[in-house]
Amino acid sequence: MNSKSRKKNVNGSIVTMTELVLPHHTNQLGNLLGGELMHWIDICAAVSAAKHSQRVCVTASVDRIDFHHPIKLGNVVTLTASVNRAFRTSMEVGVEVYAELLTEGTKVHTNSAYLTFVSVDENGKPVETFEIVPETDEEKRRFEEALKRRENRLGTRKRSS
């Protein structure tokens, strides 16, 4: 494969998932359980990474998940994921979460998350992935910020060792 064919655009990794918050997804206050949302985020991000790498991808780390607003019973939750940056075998995937109350026509950004995935072969061994090419200003900003988060992650790991 030549180097040009080893590159892909960010828009090829975009995944949108929609879920309806039902009673079994909620706590005693009628809010979506944080663990349930983390599960949905992980699935959406994993599919985005797999679309980009054309491989099975495993979760290597979750940098952070910010909870801005509670998500209520009956809300429609939309998760959108895309690869922010690809490294040799790993990729940072960003996920944005929105809650919508269809009866009121309101939509609120509730959560953001950054996860790292690794492309693996059929034996579970890491393999190189495609380079990602950001095109829009937003994609370029996310691309640069992903490198800073990776450097912080690796620095923290090194200090912990």
Return the domain boundaries, the chain.
Answer: 3-160
Q: What is the pTM of this model?
A: 0.91
Residue 88 CA: distances (Å) to CA of 2, 14, 39, 74: 16, 20, 26, 41
User: What's the half-sphere exposure (Cβ side, CA atoms, 13 Å) at 157?
Assistant: 9
Give the pLDDT score at 1. 40
Token pair of 48, please? 């985005």
CATH class of residue range 3-160: alpha beta
pLDDT in tens, 103-135: 999 999 999 999 999 999 999 999 999 999 999
The SS3 of residue 138 is helix
The SS3 of residue 50 is helix
Answer whether 55's CB lies under 8 Å from 99's CB. no
How far apart CA 98 and CA 111 sit, in angstroms, is 7
